Amino acid sequence: MLLAVAGLENKEIAERCRKLAGGDWSDFPPAERAAYVFARKQARTPWAVTVDDVHQLVDRFGLARALDVVWWSCRCHYMTSVADGFQIPLERENVFQPPKPPPQPVDEGSRKDDD
């Protein structure tokens, strides 16, 4: 959902998700790869996250942005756990996307009659 909010199109989101799920992150910049490695480690083995893992983020993102990565990763893992625990379904559509404009009425005066 955040990718759609960030402005990526559905095709771009699908391609990014395919690459992320496949585990071959070589197309991503080094800083993004470090964030993905951290998030995966935190999701699978949170007890194994070390100060060195955080230092790698700080080296690539700086202190403030590294804190953003850690905070968002924690938040997303927590929200996923809560949603799974209560069996809350995900939204089918991007609730943050502006609504589509209503269809415009057809001007009867501009239509041609085939009589």
pTM metric for this prediction: 0.66
Contact residues for 44 (Cβ-Cβ < 8 A; gap 6+): none
What token pair was written down for 114? 């085939």
φ, ψ (nearest 5 deg) of residue 32: -65, -40
φ, ψ (nearest 5 deg) of residue 99: -65, 155
pLDDT tens per residue across span 9-41? 888 888 888 888 888 889 999 999 999 999 999
Lowest mean pLDDT among 50-64, 72-86, 96-110: 96-110
